[in-house]
Structure 1
Amino acid sequence: MNIENAQVQMRKGILEFCIMHIISRGEVYASDMLDELTSAKIMVVEGTLYPLLTRLKNSGLLDYKWVESQSGPPRKYYVLTETGKKFLDEMQQTWNELSDSVNTIVQKTQHLENENKESSTN
């Protein structure tokens, strides 16, 4: 199994969740989303972000408005719709449950590994 493929799949699974969280804070421009995702080490490119934003918009979870820019063409700023806010709340609940479940399993594994290390050094 290729570790890079596994990492990409894990990141894809949470990208929508992270994007919706960023947008939930208020109107946001796509390049600002890219900057925040990159600084959080969630590598994403425009070719991934824009189709995802379009899909979320077409699903009724996002909307956007055009804002004139002093330094170029108008910019598209994204916001969550009321449906998007409810969807994000449900995603947050799922994330909390999933995170707790995964952490329980990982912590048990780490605990057992530590016990095994201690018993092998004695």
Structure 2
Amino acid sequence: MNIQMKKGVLELIVLLETEKRDMYGYELVSSVSKVIDVNEGTIYPLLKRLTNEHYFDTYLSESSEGPPRKYYHLTETGKRYAKELLKDWLAFSKQVDLFIKECEKG
């Protein structure tokens, strides 16, 4: 997939994933990678920015497999932002789909 397309939808996917439940960074990388191919170097800066913008709160939780994990919890502001992004994405993708169908008709 084109890198610019990935960047355009990555934030929305991360927000929607964490709306389901709190997640830690590597868990998010694994989950998001099922939808689009990403790596830790892409996700962690995004998580930092979204946290700085108050869309996430973070907390540490003990892990049986090593050091404590930093979990990301979507704030109310983050939930509103996710809904806004989803609404924008649905409108945008609908317009692009209509355009493609018109182009295919010739």
Alignment equivalent of 1:74, drawn from 68, 77, 88:
68
Taking only the aligned residue pairs, the percentage that are identical comes to 37
Q: In structure 2, what is the equivalent of residue 119 of structure 1?
A: none
- Tell me how far apart the structure 2 counterparts of residues 89 and 38 of structure 1 sit (CA, whole Å): 22
Structure possessing the higher radius of gyration over alpha carbons: 1
Give the CA deviation at 1:111.
2.3
Give the CA deviation at 1:76.
0.9
- Give structure 1 stretches of 5+ with no counterpart: 113-122
Alignment length, in residue pairs?
106
RMSD across aligned C-alpha pairs, in angstroms?
1.2
Alignment equivalent of 1:14, drawn from 9, 13, 25:
9
- Give structure 2 stretches of 5+ with no counterpart: none
Alignment equivalent of 1:50, drawn from 20, 44, 47:
44
TM-score of the superposition, structure 1-length normalised? 0.82
Divergent runs of 4+, >2 A: none
